[in-house]
Structure 1
Amino acid sequence: MSKTILIVFGTRPEAIKLFPVVHALKAEGRFRVVTCVSAQHRGMLDQVLEIAEIAPDHDLDLMKPDQTLDGLTAALLTGLGTVMDAEKPDWVIVQGDTATAMAGALAAYYRKLPVAHVEAGLRSHNIYHPWPEEVNRKIIGTIAALHFAPTETSAAALKAENVDPDTIHVTGNTVIDALQWVTKRIEGEPALASGLAEIEARFAGKRIIGVTSHRRENFGGGLESIARAVRRIAQRSDVALVFPVHPNPNVRKVMDAELSGLGNVAMIEPLDYPNFARLIAISEIMLTDSGGVQEEAPALGKPVLVMRETTERPEGVAAGTARLVGTEEDVIVTEIFTLLDDKAAYSAMARAHNPFGDGQAARRIVELLGNVRQSQTR
């Protein structure tokens, strides 16, 4: 009898990092694969579902304007619990650190269902940076029966928390699987990533910097400082900044106030996955407070400046592919100008080894799920 695997996700990053696992499980043929989306991020999630050709079996459609974290968590617990009661899965798979992932793990625990955690063991060791993701990860780490750690560093973090070493497996990060998959798709179907063609033509001859910023802990003063830094960088005539602006009003009002009307700053709507991969490819530098970009950009040889005080991905900093610059305006500007003007500094980051995987993470995860004994799940 085939095992039923329930895969739970709700945001764009989760969808990107889990669609290779969904594909690999379905290709294996030994599993009954059930997908459930919370739609914690509705529009951005749907973009990935479309390109990955995944039609969810359950769609909770929980996104509401300005919903609180506790309200979202309550809705997730009851909604996901109902799905679990109906499907009675042998395993529940969650990814990363979102409210959906945490609630999925907790709802499974309430039913004594084993949880497999994709991208396990990331730690910043500060419960407010990133917030609330650091605590979400720790909750899932306490519950999970299988921990698919992307790197040896993340595996070591789990072992330091006294997680059973036999349940920890270093698989690489599935984001590299996804990036390789979408890059191959774009090669065969260039129109998938043609959404930036007008901007590329507009900024021909300029050095493009890709920008993303949406961290909750940066709301307020941090975002305002980031916006001022972007404005100062834009004073250079040789650069252009492409900034897909997160739909959260806390982000948009700050960026609109500071950056509207600048000729070499393109503030655009969030990009679908193929076009975001294209943005990384055409950028010289990625300036971000995101987690996933710290993994994706090095895979394409692009330095990453991380506008945060801590990172749960220290492997990139250690390898030299990423650098923490915080949110202080002068520091951001100085670090960007150093990479633009110092060829040796740029080359050192661009050529550093990407520590996040080889594109085979999903295959390893499926093999591990197929080989696990039921006695190991209780």
Structure 2
Amino acid sequence: MDVMLLAGTRPEAVKLAPLVVALEGRDGVRPVLVHSGQHQGMVEQALVPFGLGVDAWLDVPARVSGTQAELVGGLLPALDAQLRSLMPAAVVVQGDTTTGLAGALAAFWLGIPVVHLEAGLRTNDLAAPFPEEGTRQMVARIAALHLAPTEAAAKALRAEGIPEEKIVLTGNTVVDAVLAITARDLPAHDPALALLEMEIAEAGERLVLVTSHRRESWGEPLNQTLSAVRRIVETHPDVQVLFPVHPNPAVRAQVTATLGGVERVTITEPLEYPDLVRALRLASLVLTDSGGIQEEAPTFGTPVLVLREVTERAEAVDAGCAWLVGTDPAKITGTAARLLAGSLCPAATPNPYGDGHAAEKATIAIERLLGVKTTLEQAHS
């Protein structure tokens, strides 16, 4: 049976990749990875380290306005055509993207079961994060199978009335992805990262990784974060900052205006995924508003300051791996100072988001949804 997996952004591709690999190793199902075209080039780039490629691309008109309405309006007819042509046994959508929402709708309208990977994340505030919180709640209403990354996510789904038999606790496939890339131990591809890694090793310095890309962080919140980063560099002579910047021109201009030319601050293009994993391994501290990095950094015991007022990934905070600091400069610099001084230490606990077997558990759940007997079940039948 064909199982269509839909990706449109790099995070979707990274989290779907381990599931594609796991499905490829099964006899009863065949994964078909479809690119929605939401982020051209980035999905393909993210798949390369896993030895994967895109099986099909949607024929979506070029975007003019860049609005969510325009994107959905282009995606739905293209998805409908692709689904009618392939008629997969199920469609897997990941997380809370516009691609995921459109894919779930198109599949639901054709009576094709929707599998929601990374289901159940909630802040219960439709304004934060926006529009992601609304998107994942809408997908949950029509999904046939909810693959929950944590017990808290599964609990949230139960509280919304999702039947227990439709919820499977798998862990997060991003942990599978991080471990797979780490095992390869690839050298840095980005020249700036390679040079920085060498300088840090020679001088005995420490790396602080900073990322900020969420739409609600743009403008004044980002200004506050940047001032805090500058203060951290000024007060810690042994710290080097690496800041891969979002491609949005306004964000890049904002970051460059405040940190460009500042000693011991390196600004780069967005890192390829193996380089990002390498930076997370090297870092002594991470400042981020990224959901994925909140899940990835605990694999290496790297403490995270979450540059958001609320997070739907509270497990790392609860486990003592991350601290919710928002964009208040005093809170950022104060917490960073304690972590860098060693007076505040991350808990020495396993990654709360999984053990690296999420894709295997998700594959078994999909097979059961489709009535496909596993090798073990076949042997006993």
TM-score (norm: length of structure 1): 0.93
The 8 Å contact of residues 159 and 165 in structure 1, kept in 2 or not, is answered as yes
Structure 1 residue 50, shift from structure 2 partner? 1.6
Partner of 2:379: none
Output one character per residue of 1:205-240: Cα deviation in whole Å (capped at 9) or x when no partner.
221100110011112111111111112112131211
Query: Residue in 1 aligned with 2:359?
Result: 362
Q: Deviation digits for residues 304-351 of structure 1, max 9, x if unmatched?
A: 11000010111111111111000112211111111112x2412xx152
Match of residue 228 from structure 1: 227
1:190/1:268 CA distance change after superposition, 3 Å: closer
Does the aligned pair in 2 maintain the 1:42–1:61 contact within 8 Å?
no
How far apart, in 1, do the equivalents of 2:215 and 2:13 lie?
Answer: 20
CA apart distance, 1:353: 3.4
Q: 1:111-190 alignment to 2 at 5 Å?
A: 111-186=110-185, 189-190=186-187
Aligned to 2:4: 6
CA 1:277–1:373: 2 relative to 1, 3 Å = closer
Percent same amino acid at aligned positions?
Answer: 45
Using a 3 Å threshold, how does the CA distance of structure 1 residues 76 and 357 change in structure 2: closer, same or farther?
Answer: same
Amino acid at match of 1:34: V
Task: Give the Cα separation in 1 of the matches to 2:281 and 2:174.
Answer: 15
CA distance in 2, matches of 1:66, 1:178: 34
The verdict on how the C-alpha distance between 1:373 and 1:68 changes in structure 2, with shifts beyond 3 A counting, is closer
- Matched letter for residue 196 of structure 1: L
Query: Which residue of 56, 59, 69 corresponds with 1:58?
Result: 56
Query: Tell me, what secondary structure is at the counterpart of 2:234?
Result: coil
The residue that corresponds to 1:335 in the other structure is 335
CA–CA separation in structure 1 for the residues paired with 2:304 and 2:163: 34
User: Residue 245 of structure 1 aligns with which residue?
Assistant: 245
The answer on whether the counterparts of 2:210 and 2:242 sit within 8 Å (CA) in structure 1 is yes
RMSD over equivalenced CA pairs, Å: 1.8
One-letter identity of the residue aligned with 2:19: V
Q: Which residue of 1 aligns with 2:100?
A: 101
Q: Deviations over 1:94-118 (max 9, x none)?
A: 1111111111101111111110011
CA contact (8 A) 1:128 1:217 kept: no
- Conserved in 2, the CA contact under 8 Å of 1:321 and 1:353? no
Matched, 1:311 2:311: yes
Tell me the amino acid that sits aligned with residue 329 of structure 1.
P
**1:302 partner letter:** T
Contact (CA 8 Å) 1:149, 1:171: kept in 2 or not? yes
AA paired with 1:145? A
CA contact (8 A) 1:37 1:60 kept: yes
Residue range with higher mean Cα deviation, 353-362 or 285-294: 353-362
The answer (yes or no) to whether the contact 1:319–1:353 under 8 Å persists in 2 is no
CA distance in 2, matches of 1:250, 1:144: 37
Sort the Cα spacing of 1:207 and 1:350 in 2 relative to 1 into closer, same or farther, 3 A: farther
Q: Which amino acid aligns with 2:85?
A: A
Q: In the alignment, residue 290 of structure 2 is paired with which amino acid?
A: S
- Residues 14 and 96, structure 1, Cα contact 8 Å, conserved in 2: yes
Deviation at 1:55, TM superposition (A): 2.0
Q: 1:192–1:320: structure 2 CA closer, same or farther, 3 Å change rule?
A: same
Distance 1:177 1:312 in 2: 20
Q: How far 1:65 sits from its partner (Å)?
A: 7.2
- Paired residues of 1:37 and 1:61 also in contact (CA < 8 A): no
In 2: Cα distance, 1:39 partner to 1:163 partner: 31
Rounded Cα–Cα distance in structure 2 between residues aligned with 1:256 and 1:226: 13
Unaligned runs of 5+ in 1: none
For residues 297 and 213 of structure 1, what CA distance do their matches in structure 2 show?
15
Q: What code does the residue aligned with 2:313 have?
A: R
CA-CA distance at 1:66 after TM superposition = 6.1
- 1:372 to 2:369 alignment: yes
Which residue pairs with 2:273 in the alignment? 273
Quick one: distance in 1 between partners of 2:188 and 2:318?
37
State the match for 2:76 in structure 1: 77
Contact 1:209 1:241 in 2 (8 A): yes
Matching residue's letter, 1:230: V
Match in the other structure for 1:200? 197
The TM-score normalised by the length of structure 2 is: 0.92
Q: How far apart, in 1, do the equivalents of 2:193 and 2:79 lie?
A: 37
Q: 2:193 is aligned with what amino acid?
A: L
Bigger Cα displacement from structure 2, 37-46 vs 118-127: 37-46
Letter in 2 for 1:12: R
212-221 or 283-292, larger mean C-alpha shift: 212-221
SS at match of 2:344: helix
- CA distance, structure 2, for counterparts of residue 18 and residue 82 of structure 1: 22
Unaligned runs of 5+ in 2: 373-381
Contact 1:97 1:137 in 2 (8 A): yes
Amino acid at match of 1:111: L
* Contact 1:148–1:365, Cα closer than 8 Å, also in 2: yes
In the aligned structure 1, how far is the partner of 2:188 from the partner of 2:220?
Answer: 39
Aligned-partner SS, 1:120: coil
Q: 2:21 aligns with which of 20, 23, 31?
A: 23
Q: Work out whether residues 319 and 347 of structure 2, in 8 Å CA contact, stay in contact via their aligned partners in 1.
A: no
**Partners of 1:88 and 1:168 in 2: how far apart?**
24
Q: Secondary structure at the match of 2:124?
A: coil
Q: Shift of residue 196 of structure 1?
A: 2.1
Structure 1 window deviating more from structure 2 (59-68 vs 321-330): it is 59-68
